[in-house]
Every structure is written in C-alpha cells, then in structure tokens.
Amino acid sequence: PGQHPAGAGGSAPAAGRVLAWLGYGGALLVAAGCALVPLAVGRAAGSPLLAGGPLLLVSLALLGAALVAGGRLFRAAAAGALVPVLGLALLRPVAELRSGLLTLATALVALALAGAVRALPRRVGTGPRAGALVVAAGAAQVGALLAVLLGAVAVGRVLPPWSGVGPGPHLPWGWQVPVAVALAAVALAALLPRMAWPVIGVVAVAFATLGVSGVGPLPWPAVPAAGLVVGAGLLLFAVTRAQPWWGVLAAAVAGAALVGHALLVGLAYPAGEAALLGAVVPLGLAVAALGRRASGVRRGVAGAALAAALLAVPAAVTVALFAAGVPPWWQARAALAAVGLPLVALVAVRRRWPELTGYASVAFAAGSALVALAPLVVRVDEPVALYAAVVVLLTVLAGPGTRPTGAPLVSGLGLLAVALFAAAGVLARVLVAPYGEVAAPWSGPPTGGPVPGATPAGVALLVLTLAAALAGRTPGPGRSGTPVGGDGFPPGAGLPTSSGGQPPRAAGWADAALSALPFAAAALPVLLAAAGTPWPVVPAVLLATGVAALLAAALARPRPLLGAVTVPVGLVATVTGLGGLLATRAGTLAGLGTLVVAGVVAAVAGRTGAARLAAALTAVGSATGFAVTAALAASLPLRTASFAVLAVAVLALAAAALPSGVDPIRGRVLDVAAQAVALLAVLLAAGSPRYAAAVCVLWGAAVGLRLLRRGEPAGWRWAFAGVAGGSELLGAWLLLIAGGVALLEAYTLPAAGLALAAGAVALRTRPGLNSWLALGPGLVAALLPSGVSVLFAPDPQPWRRLLLGAGALAVVLAGAARRWQAPVLLGGVTLVLLALHEVARGWDLLPRWIFLAVGGLALIGLAATYERRRRDLARFRAAVGRMS
C-alpha cells in the first residue's frame, strides 16, 4: 500500500457525513412536498382525519434526525417546528368536516398545545414553547381580526346616522369570536412571562367585547352598552390598578377604543346616542378624579378623559334636542349655551385640579370652536358672527384672569377673525350706505330701507366690545391682579413678576376702553341702522364718534395704545360720517362746522406738537370747505366765496404769527397753508378780475403786516415781502385789465419799480451783491418793453421816445452818481439805440449833405484830437470797470 496525506483519514468520514445529510435533506424535502398534497386536498388514504398525517411524519422524521445526530439548536428548531405541524394536522380535519367551528377549534388547539408545552421540562421545552407561541399568536391574530370585522360590520349597520339599525350579514360563527379571543389570550398568557399578562388581558377583553355584536340575535342597545361598560372598566382600571406604564397605556387605549366604538354604534338612534354621550361625561370626570394625582401616563389618561367629558357636554345637549324633535336653530343655540358648562368646569379645574388645566383648556377651546363654527357646517339660518363673538367672550371669561393663554388664546383669535369677517360686509354697508343706498351730495335725505343682517352683526360687535373691554384689563406693573402666566401653574407656584420685582397689576378701565373702542365704534352705527333710526342719526353718530376719538388722541394723556387705536377709528368714523352728511346742505355745513370747532380745540389744547399741527391743518381745511360750501348752499357765485376763503387765509396767517413756543414748525406750516388758501381764493375769483384784484390787494396788505412781526428770520421776511409785493402787483394788473387799460408802461413800470426797490434794499443790506443782480432785472423790466415798442412799432410814438430817452438819461446819471455799473451801461445802451433810431427816422427828412457834412466834421475833429480821445476812452473804461 502507498502512503496517504496526513489528513486523509479524517476528511473521508466528514465528506461522508456531508453527503449523508445532503441526501437526507433532499429526501426530506421531497417527502415534505409530497405531504403537502394531502394537506391541501384534505384527505390521506381516503380519510380527512389523516390529511395532516404525512406532514406530521415528515416533521417527526426531522425531529428524529435532530435527536440522533443534531446539536442543541437543531433539536430545538425541529421540536419547535413539530408543534405548528401538529396544530395543522389537528385543524385540517376540522376544516374539512366542521368548517363552521374552525375559529373555536383554532383557539382550542392553541390552548391545548400551550398547555402540553408548558408541562414539558424546561430543558427540553424551549423549541416547543416557541412553536406553541407561534400557534397561539396566530390564533390570537385570527380572533382579533374577526373581532375588528364584526365591530366594523356593527358600525356599518347604523350608517347613515339616525336611520336605525340596518340588516347585516348572517354570521353563524360570530359567537365563536369572543370565545376564541379569550382562549387564545389564555394560551398566550400560559407561554409568556407574568409581566405581559395585564396587557394580554386588557387587549383580549377589548377584542372580545368588539366581537359581542356577532353573538346571536342580541338586542341592539346591548352592543353599545357592553362597549361602554367594558370601556369604562378598562379606563378605571388604567388609572387605578394597571402596572407598569405600558399596561396603563394598553388599558387606556383599549378602553377609549371601546367607548369610541360604542358611540359610533349608538348613532343608530338619537336618543341612544344622547344617553351614551351623557354617560361619557361622568365617566370622564371619574377617571380624571382618580388619576389626576398620578404622574406619567396615568395623568395623561386622566387629562384625556377630562377633555372627552368636556367635549361630550355640548354634543350630548345637541343630540338630545335632536332626539326630542327640536328645530335645528334651537339645537345650535342650546349647544352654544351648553358651552358655558365646560367654561365653569375649566374654572373649577383651574382652582381644584390645576395639574389638569391644560387638558381642560384644550377641550374647551376645541369644543367651543366647533360650536361657534356649526352654522357654517350645518344648514341652520343662524348668524355665525354672533356665535363666534359669544364664544370669544366665553374664552375671555375662561381666563386665567381676563387673558386667555395656550389653546383658548389661539381658538379665540381665530374665532375673532371669523366674527369680524362675517360682520365686515354689514359694517361696510352701514358705513357707506346706512339707509340702503348711497346718496349723492345734496340730493336729499336717503329713503332706502334698512341694511339686511344688521341686528345680529350689531349684537355680535357689541359682544366683542364687552370681550375686548374685559381682555383689556390685563396685568401690568404696579397693582395687584390676576397672576401672570399660562394654564397649568399650580397654586403657590413661583409666578413671573413685572420688572423691578413689583407684583403684577390689573390695568385700569382706560386700557379696557381703548381695547373696546374699535368694536364699540363699529357696533353703535350698526345697531342704530338695525333699529331703523331716521337720517341723519347714523352719520351724525359716526361723525361724533370719530371726532371724539380724534380729540381723545390729541387731548388725553399719552398711553401705549392711545394713538394706535383712536386715530384709525377716528379717521374712518369721521370720513364716513361726513360722507353721510353730504346728502343735504345743512348736514354738510354742520359736519364741516364740527370739524372746524374740533380742530381749533385740538390745535389749542393738544398735548403733542404733531397733534396740534394736524389739528390746525384740519381746522384750516375744514374752514375753507365751510366757506365754499356756505356760498354754494346760499346759491351765491363762487367769486363771492373768495372773500370768505380769504378770511380763512388771514386767520391762518394770524394764527401762524402767534408765539409758537415748543412748536416752531407749526407757524411755518400754517404760513404755507395760508398761502395755499389765499391762492384758492384767487382761483375762485378768477372769472371776475375786479374780485380777484380785491383779493390780491387785501392779501398783499395782510402779508405785509405779517412780515412786521418781531423776531422773524430775514429769509422769511424777504419771502413775505415778495409775496406781498407780488400780490399787490397782481392786483394792480387785474384792475388795469378790468379797466381796459392798454398802455404798456402801466403794466411794466409797477413791476419794474417793485423790482428796483427790492434791489436797492438788497444792495444796502448785502455788501457783496453787485448792481447787475440787484438792479438789472428791474431796469430791464422798465426799459426793454418800451424800447422794443419804440424800435419795432409802426406808429411814431413821439412821447414814448421822449420819455424813454429821458428815463434812460436819468438812469445813467443816477448810476454814475452811485457808481453802479448796471444802470450806466443799460441806460447808455438804451440812449444809443434811441439815437440811432432817431437818425434813421430823420434820414429822409433832411438833405443828404447835412449828414455828410456832420460826419466829415466829426471825423476831422476825431483825427485832430485822436490821442486825447484815446486817453478819454481809457479813463471811461477804467471808471466803468471800477463801478459795482
């Protein structure tokens, strides 16, 4: 024999074992495949009782191989696989022969296998226990699914709600479901540790109760009653005895599911549903009372139960009234009134059970919001604005104190927006057309009807006024009041204080009034329109409200919300009220007169400079409008109104001259406003030159007096002087136009004289100013128009030529005396042009030799004295250059 490698003796048996196990596994797989055929067919050897036998033999063969040659894990797996196979072998004949009992048989087999496995020694029972657990879990899942199916069928039989119990499917196996669930739960409890027993128990009770609806011909009230009773028991168990936290959670979820299912099933009849909802209220309160002092999950269960109880109150009232045949609108009103009960409960919870305040707040917010929005969802002819406003008021009353926090605050703000949006249309119609139509100015009192929906909208705004007034009394530093903080602060807990360590205070009624002002200002005209008050009550009240608000903004002591609230409210009310009074002449005058008086009062007694300035401008504008309107109302032409408008401008100019104190800008603004009003007066009289001239002359005199005020800056004095002179000049021109005066100098010489006077004063007061800037414009205005007329007009105009020459000579002499360059040059140029013009005119009047003789003599004289003339010209240029 030859030599072999060192490992040959050990590898051959190992290879043999591998081949043997592969062959055994292949044969076992083939046998298992063949054994599945009779299991699927339901017969083996012609008998249903043996249908699972072949597969059971295959499993036993696998177990035998594991016991003979397998390891510990292999033996446990083979033993564990045997238990489900044995269960299949036992259940297959039942499915074939008595299929109606299959549900119960499954649970019984699971229980039997669990008991058998539990009896095995611990050292060999690991695998079988796992297999039995698989069987028991499968049986429990089958029972749970069937219970859920029966529960869904029960709910489906009552839909749509209030239509009674409809016919359901015939389920002869339905009675087995609760029994199967209970048996499967026992089997699981036998196989699982003791700590899992509470969860298994409560889940089994819940599913078994769901399956009660399939137990024979039970009277229908028994189904929701059973769910409610068992659910109540589970909830009470969750907050009293259940341990640990997952047991508490399981019991609470199971109980809540049963109660919810009972409420769904109770939808068959309104009376039954009302009774169920009424039973939820004491149940939730009892659970909350028992679990409120606990911690963790139990407190959460108690809070959720309390929230459910509070939500059930308005629902129970609504359904009970529906069952009694009460009309839908009374149902909605009763639900709104029933919101008061959760409000009382919330206040009591905040005082007695502070640890559950958050849950109660959320429940109150959700329930009240649903009730407030019910008119939008349910077809009832009820004003959603009023419902939302009432709930907003209840939310404010819910506190804490008078300031909601958390969920009530969010709900209240949302409902406030809903109420305002719902009432906005009515409010807009009342502001624009309170009597059903928009009246044209001075068309007479409107005769339209009332605004539809004004009464509920007005009441809603009135309720919001009360809510805003209560909410406006919020805590602040300096006085004792309600502690600042949100829901959930227990008594005695450290609460936040205001700055400086001072305890919080309750704000005064002034803050409350400011908070309520927008709603009150909106509610008053709407209620007056709803009451059918005649014209002009509504616009007059609006105007009075707006003026009062604006006066409060100007006269009252500054507060944080004063301007932000009163100014917008005042502006809107004033504008709309004045617009409503425009329907008649008397109304317009009364409205404008009211604004004048209010503006004067605020301008005199206002607390801030901005308020006094705005009031003064308002008074000026209103007085101007009053003056124009009064003339139109008296059927007078507009030119007669110009003097009244001018009087307003004069009064404004006089007010600007008063000592300004801390408001220096007020006088300047009033000066500008007075000029604008005077310009309007001139425009009103534009069709009559004499009236316009009178206005200009009077205004020039008023402005001339204005510049005499002591302490006036030089710049403003010059501006006033210019305005006064311009006004007088314009008045003079207008008078000339009215008189039909065509003489050119009648228009130019006054303007030139005014300009020359201003220039002469400027030269005396401003040393650096030259004569061209000071006197040039006036001289041009005096000489140029007449010179152009002389040079280019077809008529000879001897007197104009003579006077123009004399004037130009006088200008040259005056300029030379004062050493002013502009008069000398401008007058000299004018004289030269006139001389040339005279030569040109006399060219054809004298013989030509005279001109030639004069020219020749001039040339001879110039040639004879050429050097002296050059020196004279140089001296002249130097003298002119030295002039200013």
Predicted pLDDT of residue 487: 47
**Residue 461 resides in a domain:** yes
Q: What is the 3-state secondary structure (H, E, C) of 628-646?
A: HHHHHHCCCCHHHHHHHHH
The helix, strand and coil proportions of the chain, stated in percent and rounded to the nearest 5, come to 75, 0, 20
pLDDT of 379 > 70? The answer is yes
Q: What is the pLDDT of residues 868-879, one digit of tens each?
A: 666 656 666 666
Among 54-58, 597-601, 611-615, which is the least confidently predicted range?
Answer: 54-58
Whose CA is closest to 801, among 788, 790, 813? 790
CA distance 37 to 256: 46
Q: Each residue of 751-763: b (16+ CB within 10 Å) or e?
A: bbebbbebbbeeb
Count CB neighbours of 613 within 10 A.
18
pLDDT at position 480: 41
Phi, psi of 165 (to 5 degrees): -95, 120
Q: What percent of the chain has pLDDT over 70?
A: 84
Q: Which domain holds residue 463?
A: 450-477+505-520
Residue 555: phi and psi, rounded to 5, are -100, -25
For residue 672, being part of any structural domain is answered with no
The candidate with the shortest Cα–Cα distance to 626, out of 662, 659, 581, is: 581
Sign of the C-alpha dihedral, residues 431, 434, 437, 438?
negative
Mean pLDDT of 517-537: 91
pLDDT of residue 649: 92
The per-residue pLDDT for 229 is 94
The answer to whether residues 839 and 855 touch, using CB atoms and an 8 Å cutoff, is no
Task: Please give the single-letter amino acid code of residue 478.
Answer: G
Q: Give the residues across from 232 on adjacent strands.
A: none
pLDDT in tens, 159-199: 888 888 877 677 778 788 899 999 999 999 988 888 888 89
Residue 275 pLDDT exceeds 50: yes
Task: Identify the pLDDT of residue 318.
Answer: 92
Average pLDDT score over residue span 121-139: 83
Does residue 460 belong to any structural domain of this protein?
yes
Which of 120-134, 201-215, 774-788 is the most confident on average?
A: 201-215
End-to-end CA distance of the chain: give it in Å, rounded: 149
Domain count within the chain = 1
Residue 765: band (very low, low, confident or very high) from pLDDT cuts 50, 70, 90? confident
State residue 476's pLDDT score. 44
pLDDT of 848 above 70: no
Model pLDDT, residue 500: 38
Residue 148 has what pLDDT? 92
- Is residue 213 very low, low, confident or very high in pLDDT (cuts 50, 70, 90)? confident
**Pairing relationship of beta strands 504-506 and 475-477 according to DSSP bridges:** antiparallel
- pLDDT band, very low/low/confident/very high, at 743 (cuts 50, 70, 90): low
Span 684-722, pLDDT tens digits: 988 888 888 888 888 888 888 887 777 677 777 778 877
CA atoms within 13 A on the CB side of 661: 7
Q: Does a structural domain hold residue 471?
A: yes
Residue 117 domain-assigned?
no
The answer to whether residues 356 and 288 touch, using CB atoms and an 8 Å cutoff, is yes
Residue 489: per-residue pLDDT: 38
Cα gap 702→720, rounded to integer Å: 10
Q: What average pLDDT does range 830-843 have in this prediction?
A: 73
In whole angstroms, give the CA distance from residue 199 to residue 205.
10
Q: Give the count of beta carbons closer than 10 Å to the beta carbon of residue 16.
A: 10
* Percentage, residues of the chain above pLDDT 90: 31
Tokens of 5: 């490698």
Predicted confidence (pLDDT) at residue 149 exceeds the cutoff of 70: yes
Listed in sequence order, the DSSP H helices in 606-688 are 609-633, 638-657, 664-684
Per-residue pLDDT at 502: 43
590 falls within a domain: no
The encoded tokens of residue 729 equal 């000049």
pTM for this prediction: 0.74
| Residue 864: band (very low, low, confident or very high) from pLDDT cuts 50, 70, 90 | low
| Average of per-residue pLDDT across 133-142 | 90
Instruction: From 583, 323, 562, 314, select the one nearest 445 (Cα to Cα).
Output: 583
- Across 573-600, b (16+ Cβ under 10 Å) vs e yields bbebbbbbbbbbbebbbbbbebbbebbb
Q: Is 476 helix (H, G, I), strand (E, B) or coil?
A: strand
Q: At what angle do helices 328-338 and 357-372 cross, to 10 degrees?
A: 160
Residue 594 has pLDDT above 90, yes or no: yes
pLDDT at position 821 = 72
Looking at every residue in the chain, the average pLDDT score rounds to 81
Please check whether residue 633 lies inside any domain of the structure.
no
500-521 residue pLDDT tens: 344 444 456 778 888 899 999 9
8: pLDDT strictly greater than 50: no
Average pLDDT over residues 241-266: 91
Write the pLDDT tens digit of every residue in 401-428: 656 778 888 998 999 999 999 999 999 9
459: which 2 tokens? Answer: 């009441």
Tokens of 445: 């009192």
Q: Which pLDDT score is estimated for 126? A: 79
Question: With contact defined as beta carbons under 8 Å apart, do 131 and 84 qualify?
Answer: yes
DSSP secondary structure string for all residues of 288-349:
HHHHTT--THHHHHHHHHHHHHHHHHHHHHHHHHHHTT--HHHHHHHHHHHTHHHHHHHHHH
Which among 394-408, 513-527, 776-790 has the top mean pLDDT? 513-527
pLDDT at 547: 94
| In-domain check, residue 509 | yes
39 CB-near residues (< 8 Å, 6+ apart): 51, 52, 54, 55, 88, 92
Per-residue pLDDT band at 491 (split at 50, 70, 90): very low
What is the rounded average pLDDT of the residues 260-265?
A: 93
Q: Encode pLDDT of 551-593 as tens digits.
A: 999 998 888 888 888 999 999 999 999 998 998 999 999 999 9
